[in-house]
Structure 1
């Protein structure tokens, strides 16, 4: 599948914190950084996400806010 998002980060699912409707998914990258995402529980099941399995964080945003 080809997608337009250029910011793709491959890693391993470190943790899945399941809620009633959504889950927080933590993906650890090769350099030790962790990316967190909130997705639906049905997406977790449909994608087949499991701790220890590979996953790709795909980031597509028209705005990124930064503060210091």
Structure 2
């Protein structure tokens, strides 16, 4: 897999939570968990399940932080 995004982190799927149309995929990246929201079709097409080895690819123009 070759893509232009530079922020690629290898991890392991710990859980897939499917909803009506969207799934939350939880990925362990060295003790920290990153959650991605993708379509159920994408989960099925990629064959994602707990234990799958994946890459988390982060491509964002903004990172926001808020406080109370």
TM-score by length of 1: 0.90
Determine the C-alpha separation between the residues in 2 that align with 1:54 and 1:5: 19
- Paired with 2:40 and 2:58, the residues of 1 have a C-alpha distance of 19
- Cα distance, 1:19 vs structure 2: 0.7
CA RMSD of aligned residues (A): 1.0
Corresponding residue of 1:49: 48
Instruction: State the TM-score, normalizing by the size of structure 2.
Output: 0.90
Q: Flag structure 1 segments of 5+ consecutive residues without an equivalent.
A: none
Runs of 4+ more than 6 Å apart: none
Gaps of 5+ in 2: none
Shift, 1:67, TM fit: 3.2
Question: Aligned pair count?
Answer: 67
